[in-house]
A = this chain, B = another copy of it.
Amino acid sequence: MASSVLGGLTPRAREIVQAARGLLDEEGPGALSMRRLGERIGMRAPSLYEHVRDKRTLEAALISVGFEEQAALFTRATDRSEEPLIAVAAAYREFARRQPHLYRLMTERPLHRELLAPGVEDAAALPVLLAMGGDLERTRALWAFAHGMVILELNHRFPPDADLDDTWRKGIEAFRTMRPA
């Protein structure tokens, strides 16, 4: 079991969460309704409530899995890298581009941290913090830059002629070369 979050569920609940993930990935958060979810696994929507508490809890499970995947991806990217900051930024962007809908779900609303699997958020943040030499505020500033880049791109807010690879490079360079406080 790659995910300890999924591993902690009953088989039917796991099936539901996995179906939710498929629906989310394929059609976005707007398509993630209990009805559509029921359709996907051949069950009426009301029956889902026998296995998952409510929709918020279901979304929290998806978010927990997302954090697990980020933690693995970021750790792999920074391990043995000579430029961990560049590597983790590339990994961050890659995660968001490959799973844009999950990324939105994870960032566009307040986190219900009490519904998350314990520790998953910190586990995802740790490799980024290490890549920034342990400086919390600089790490958050880098995160803001990376999130801004990713979400503005997903929202098609950059002008069509923007050279985003170059923008990424210059932004990262700003953080990489700044002298420690």
Q: Which residue of B lies closest to A176 (CB)?
A: B174
Please name all residues of chain B whose beta carbon is closer than 8 Å to the beta carbon of A157 when the two chains form the complex: 107, 110-111
| A167 interface contact, C-beta 8 A | yes
Please name all residues of chain B whose beta carbon is closer than 8 Å to the beta carbon of A155 when the two chains form the complex: 107-110
A12-20, A47-55, A145-153 - the one binding chain B? A145-153
Please name all residues of chain B whose beta carbon is closer than 8 Å to the beta carbon of A147 when the two chains form the complex: 148, 151-152
Interface residue ranges of A125-158 to B (CB < 8 Å)? 136-138, 140-141, 143-149, 151-152, 155-158
Q: Which residue of B lies closest to A168 (CB)?
A: B141
Interface of A is mostly: helix
Q: Residues on A close to B: CB < 8 A?
A: 107-111, 136-138, 140-141, 143-149, 151-152, 155-158, 162-163, 166-168, 170-171, 173-175, 177-179, 181
With A144-B171, A174-B175 already in contact, 17 other A-B pairs whose C-beta atoms are closer than 8 Å: A107-B155, A107-B157, A110-B156, A110-B157, A111-B157, A137-B167, A138-B170, A140-B162, A140-B167, A141-B174, A143-B148, A144-B152, A144-B167, A147-B148, A147-B152, A151-B151, A170-B178
